[in-house]
Structure formats: structure tokens, C-alpha cells
Amino acid sequence: MARVVILGAGLSGHTMARYLNLWLGKQHEIVMVSPNAKWNWIPSNIWVGVGRMTEQDVTFDLAEVYRKTRVDFRQAKGLSLNPEGTAADARPFVTVEYTLPAKAGQREDIHYDYLVNATGPKLNFGATEGLGPDHGHTVSVCTASHALEANHKFQENIAALRAGEKRTFVIGTGHGMCTCQGAAFEYIYNIDHELREAGVRDRAKIVWISNEYELGDFGMGGVHITRGGYVTNGKTFAESLMVERGIEWITRAHVKKVEAGKIHYELLDGSFHELEFDFSMLIPPFAGVGLKAFDQAGGDITPQLFAPNGFMKVDADYTPRPYLEWSGKDWPKTYQTPGYRNIFAVGIAFAPPHLISKPMQSANGTPINPAPPRTGMPSAAMAMAVAKSIRDMINGADKPTQSASMAEMGAACVASTGSGFFSGTAVTMTVYPVVPDFEKYPLHGRDDNLTFGEIGLAGHWMKYLLHHAFIYQAKMKPGWTLMPD
């Protein structure tokens, strides 16, 4: 019998649990550890943030779903790993602390045969003074509850606009090293759409602020897309969307501090500026959740398993080298942790070997460059590959059997630019591969035949249908195994 422990029930962790429950025999155990009681389809939080959906529309109860399976759900957060066990008991274990109200604060050591770190990110609002909904002056759509608060404040601003006041809306990234520009990118267009629907767009100023070198970077070093039979760069594509909607933009920016109604930011040229706002949604930078690791004697081996940012090291090449020497070959394939054949990390939890976009520093030495995206389709692909590898290793394979390098996989994204069922639109984009390969595709680093983008009403319908399809699948309802991840 083998026990697989999964830390984190987000997209990648829940995908792991679904498929291991399907593929492993009844003699094996699957333990899911998550501090959250509910699963959240995060891509639709942007619709909660403008009042088009409710929290119930984008979440469901994890315990209720796992009750139908063999997955042993523990509502707890991981604290530390002991991959060598102790001197008295060499079985590896993870220490967790329960967040379930009835057991809150209680700790438990859970032994494992295989461990998957799918903890996702810590939302590091503290990296920027005054950032975030809890102790700052900006809102967020990173969680369903954050998005509810964002919508409440958004509706207050619509009411002020209807009363004849003017308002400034600032959307983007709240630090020079943020990732996940996509969520902010979607949200700003939904803000624009809702203001138009309310008939108050003419009194609103909307500003995009981002750490991207140019619009359309998205942490992928930019992209060239095929559209209407022509190849155009992501900068032109993204700028055209904003110009058409009267949205202003600021790029190459690091938000240094946020005060009530005022953003202080630094540009790549070293200059400092201020931007006043009435409503601002800024994505925070991500960090690892803070897991520790200890050897058999109790010594701290956290730096051995984790990068300085808290993400777990895997089978990537972390050797420092100049930007021009970076390669897709540096990126992990199996997501197995070096030195421990039974530990894996997937989704945002793994440490990338380097950026995808070119690293930049301001004239003052401040890093201003997007971190690599690792969400959505790549997260699900990693999870499925690792689930298959663990299944095969339990059945006798001596090493991982599956590969899912971001340098060898594509990704599709449907980004909402307005949620009206007949007036809304969405940007539909595909990218192949996610990490560019200039040896194979010397012109743009990606296959122009498989990298394309379009915008229109059909894209909105597709995103709306995907919302329901993915939640249906995540709930493991009849026929979910026939649906693609």
C-alpha cells in the first residue's frame, strides 16, 4: 500500500487528486491537505469583482466533493517537511496545522510515500507598503472573497459617477516583480464594459499600470500572434484593445507604495511618479507559502529544497547564466525534487529556473520585470503528468514516466473583455510553446501556426461555457473523465 499526500487543493492539486482517485487501486491512500474549505475557479473571480457572478457561482465545498471519492480531505495547512523522517522513525512525513474550526491550531504529522507540493502562491501584499484589501488601500480579485469586496467598492464608485462625480480607476500590478498580469488584464476590460453598460464611462478615467516592458508581455517575453492571416506582436494587439476603449497605460513600472487615493511608482528610467485614484485593483507579487524542511537530525534543510522566494526546487537547471544563454532546456520536465524521488511540485509551487521575459533593473537598481506565468493549462498539464508518474512508480517504475515541460507545451487563454451575453467579448489566444524555443523557431521563438489571437463575442460565449464545464468537471460529476483538462 502507498500513501500519496497532496498539499493544496487548487487547480493543480485538485487535478492530481481527481486522477489519482481514478487511477490508483483501492489499497492505496490519497490524502488532500488544504487550508481552504472551498475550491475556487479563480478565472471567474473577475466577474465576481464586477457583480456579474456571486461567490457561490465560482466556488464549491471540497469536503462534499471528496466525500464521494477515496480522497481523505484534511482542512489544514502544511507547515514543514521531514523527507528523511526522524532518527527514531525513518518514514518521511509532513507536519500540518488544522484550519477546520473544530480542530483549529491542532498539529499532525502525516506520513507519506509520495508527496506533491501544489500549495500555489502566497499573495505577498506585504511586499508593497499599502497594497491589498486587508491592510492596504487597493482591492484584489485573487480570491472569491476579495472579489466580493472589490465589487462592493466598484458599485460605490458607479453610484458616485451616476451622481455626476468623476472617478479614476487604476488596474494592474502592484510590484515590479509581479506575475499573473492576465487577471488584471481581464479585469480592466470588464471595468470598462460595466461602466459603459451603466452609462457613466464618459466621467471615468481608466489607467493600466504594469511591470511589463511593453503591453502584451504577460511574463512570456511578449508574443507574436497570427490574426486575420497576418503576424503581429502582442504589443500592437494589446495597445489596439486599450486605444479602442480609451484606456491609458503606464508600463515598466514598480509600485513602491500605496497611500489612500495615491500610488507612488518608479519607472525603469529611474524616475519617480504619483498617480491619484478612486478605485484600484493591483495584483500582488507571489511567493512560496513558507514551508520549511528538516533532515533526520532536525537540521534545517529548507534552502536545499526551496529557492529563496519559497518555491520548491525541481528538476530544472538553476545554474545562473546570462539572459542570452537561457534555454527551454533549463525548464523542468518531471517536477521531481532533486535528492528525493518521492517529492514533486506542480503549478505555481515549483521554482522556475529563470524569468521568461528579459530581466530589467531601473536606473536605481530596482528589478522591474514580470515573473513567469504558471497557471491555467500548464498547471493542469503538470498535474496530470505527475499523477501518471506517481501511478507508474507505485506500480513498479523506478523513475517518473511522464514529461510536461513548459518549453514543450502550448497554452490557450480566453480573456474576458466584457461579460454581457450579447454585448460582451473575449480575447482568445493560443501560445506554443509557453517558453520560447529560438533554436526550433528562430524568427519569434514560437510556432506562428499555433500562436494566434482573436477577439469577439464568440470568445465570450466560449469563456462562459468553459466556466461551467470546468466547475462541472472539478465536481467530478458524471462523464467528467471524458472532458479535456
pLDDT recorded at residue 53: 96
The burial of 414, by beta-carbon neighbours within 10 Å (0-12 exposed, 13-18 middle, 19 or more buried), is given as: buried
> Mapped to the 3 state alphabet, what secondary structure does the chain carry?
CCEEEEECCCHHHHHHHHHHHHHCCCCCEEEEEECCCEEECHHHHHHHCCCCCCHHHHEEEHHHHHCCCCEEEEEEEEEEEECCCCCCCCCCEEEEEECCHHHCCCEEEEECCEEEECCCCEECHHHCECCCCCCCCCECCCCHHHHHHHHHHHHHHHHHHHCCCCEEEEEEECCCCCCCHHHHHHHHHHHHHHHHHCCCHHHEEEEEECCCCCCCCCCCCCCEEEECCEEEEHHHHHHHHHHHHCCEEECCEEEEEEECCEEEEEECCCCEEEEECCEEEEECCEECCCCEEECCCCCECHHHHECCCCCECCCCCCCCCCHHHCCHHHCCCCCECCCCCCEEECHHHECCCCCCCCCCECCCCCECCCCCCCCCHHHHHHHHHHHHHHHHHHCCCCCCCCCCCCCCCCEEEEEECCCCCCCCCEEEEEECCCCCCCCCCCCCCCCCCCCEEEEEHHHHHHHHHHHHHHHHHHCCCCCHHHCCC
Q: What is the pTM of this model?
A: 0.96
How much is the pLDDT for 384? 97
Q: Can you tell me the mean pLDDT for 178-205?
A: 95
Query: Comparing C-alpha atoms, which of 75, 120, 114 is closest to residue 98?
Result: 75
pLDDT level of residue 9 (50, 70, 90 thresholds): very high
Name the least confident of 152-156, 270-274, 459-463: 459-463
Domain ranges of the chain: 3-123+286-394
Rounded to the nearest 10 degrees, the angle between the axes of helix 181-197 and helix 144-162 is: 30
Predicted pLDDT of residue 227: 79
What pLDDT, in 10s, does the model give residues 305-338? Answer: 999 999 999 999 999 999 999 999 999 999 999 9
pLDDT at 162: 98
Q: pLDDT band at residue 166, thresholds of 50, 70 and 90?
A: very high
**Mean pLDDT, residues 182-198 taken together:** 96
Q: Is the pLDDT of residue 452 over 90?
A: no
For residues 244-262, average pLDDT: 98
354 pLDDT exceeds 90? yes
Give the CA count within 13 Å in the CB-facing half-sphere of 387. 23
Share of the chain above pLDDT 70, in %: 100
| Alpha-carbon span 477 to 479, nearest angstrom | 6
Confidence class for position 152, pLDDT limits 50, 70, 90: very high
Q: What is the pLDDT of residue 444?
A: 93
What CATH topology corresponds to 3-123+286-394? FAD/NAD(P)-binding domain (3.50.50)
Checking if the pLDDT of 228 tops 80, the result is no
pLDDT for 56 equals 97
The confidence score (pLDDT) of residue 484 equals 83
Compute the average pLDDT of residues 140-169. 98
**Per-residue pLDDT tens over the stretch 120-150:** 999 999 999 999 999 999 999 999 999 999 9
Q: Which residue has the cell 457561490?
A: 56
207 pLDDT band (50/70/90 cuts)? very high
Q: Model confidence over 385-410: pLDDT tens digits?
A: 999 999 999 999 999 999 999 999 99
Mean pLDDT over 80-109 rounds to 97
Residue 441 near residue 447, CB atoms below 8 Å: yes
Average pLDDT over residues 175-204: 95
Mean pLDDT, rounded, for 245-259:
98
Average per-residue pLDDT in the chain? Answer: 96
Q: What pLDDT does 180 receive?
A: 82
